Structure 1
């Protein structure tokens, strides 16, 4: 859990810093730092589902 927490802090920090440097806005930087990781988490979930199906198909093709 500690590794996950430190990665989340790193992710928020990078998202905030990059957005702040591009826009100069603390508010926009903060908003992106909150929204982007949340959206990325949802996208990652679906990516894993698709990847799992791809792996199953590959395993079935090798077994056949």
Structure 2
């Protein structure tokens, strides 16, 4: 029910904005249908890129490595191998 409610709200806002800017019911209707379809395609590619980025190994440099290791329960000296 929540998804249907949000979809209705989304279409209504898209229609209202397009109608307010164009003064045309046809343009408002077309944009209300077109905008969510384009957003769906963009979201698909965004998710692919995001997942690819998330699966990449974490590369930390200099003091960032020490900070991350400290958060994992190591002292800064242990993080850089001085202990």
Runs of 4+ in 1 over 3 A off after TM superposition: none
Higher-helix-fraction structure: 1
In structure 1, what is the equivalent of residue 47 of structure 2?
A: 48
TM-score (norm 2): 0.67
- Structure 1 runs not aligned, ≥5 long: none
TM-score (norm 1): 0.85
| Superposed CA RMSD | 1.0
- Structure 2 runs not aligned, ≥5 long: 60-83
Work out which of the two has the higher radius of gyration on C-alpha atoms and give 1 or 2.
2
